[in-house]
Amino acid sequence: MQWQLDVETAVAEAGPGEWHGHLTSSWNIGENPNGGYVAALLLRAMTAEVAHPDPVAMTTHYLRPGIPDADVVVRTEVVRTGRTTSTVRGTLSQGGSDRITGLATFADLGAASGTDHLTIAAPGLPPPDECRPRETLEQGVELPIVERLEIRVDPDAAEPGEAGVAEITGWIRFADGRPADVAGVALFADAFPPSLFGLLGRVGWVPTLEMTVHVRRRPAPGWVQARFVTTSLESGLLVEDGALWDESGHLVAQARQLAMLLTD
C-alpha cells in the first residue's frame, strides 16, 4: 500500500547530503502547505541519513512559507553519529530560497516499554464520533488538508472564542488509513487549529517561527489524541505547548512552538 503521506514526502538522493522532492498542494491550509507537512518532508530526508529511527528531538525554524506544487531541494549534514543517538541538520529550499531549517537528534525508542515512570495523563475526550470535524469550524480559509488528515475537535471547545481558554483538544488520524508512526505524530503536532482560537476567536494566520517536537514513544495503531494550550502571549509572540497520546492513552509526543500573532 502506498500511503498518501509517504508518496507526497518522497525524497530521492541526488548526491551526498542532497535530496530532491516535491511539495503538493494537498496538505494546504489556505494558500500554503501546512508547516507540519513541509517539516515531514525535511524529516524524511534527515531520517534517511542515520541508523537510529526515532526523532527524539526535532526543532524546525520556519523561514518562509512553503510553495505548493513545487519541487524541493533538501540539504542534510550528519553532525554526530553515536552509539545511542545521532544528530542531523537539514534545510529545505524551494525556488532558491531556504524555507525551513532543522536540527534533530535520533535514537532507538524500541518497542513500547510499558514503564512510564512519569507521564502526562490523556485528556479524557469524548470518542471521535462525538467530536466535531475540523472542517465544520469556521476558519476563513480553504482546508485541502482535511482530505489528508481527519481531525475531530472536542465539541466543548469547538466554537472559536467561546471556550474561554486558549486550549484545543481532539483526535487525529490519516484519512487514508495510514498507521500513525513517529513521523506521523511529528506531523500531527502541527495540524490542529491554533489553541488561541479558543480564547480569542478566529485570529487569522498564526505563523509558526519555531517548533520542537519530542517523540516519546512509538504510537499504537488507531487514533491519536492531542491537547494544545497557549501558555503565554507577550509582545505579539505566543508559546503553545502540545501533548499527544496514542489511542491506548500512552504519551507519544510533546511539542512546543513559538508563533506570531499578526495584528491588522
Residues that bind a second copy (CB under 8 A): 56-57, 59, 61, 63-64, 79-80, 84-85, 87, 89, 91, 98, 101-103, 105, 107, 109-110, 113, 115-120, 166, 199, 209-210, 212, 214, 216-217, 230-235, 237-239, 241, 251, 254, 256, 258, 260
- 3-state SS class at 110: coil
Q: Which is nearer to a second copy, 5 or 252 (CB)?
A: 252
Q: Which is nearer to a second copy, 4 or 87 (CB)?
A: 87
* Min dist. Cβ of residue 229 to a second copy (A): 10
* Min dist. Cβ of residue 198 to a second copy (A): 11
* Min dist. Cβ of residue 48 to a second copy (A): 19
CA nearest to 184, candidates 83, 54, 14, 33: 54
> Whose grid coordinates read 516535491?
22
Q: Which is nearer to a second copy, 10 or 57 (CB)?
A: 57
The CA-CA-CA angle for residues 182, 125, 177, to 5°, reads 40
Q: Which is nearer to a second copy, 149 or 189 (CB)?
A: 189
* Min dist. Cβ of residue 232 to a second copy (A): 5
CB environment 199-221: b (16+ within 10 A), e (fewer): beeebebbebeebbbbbbbbbbe
CA nearest to 181, candidates 84, 53, 7: 53
> Whose grid coordinates read 536540527?
103
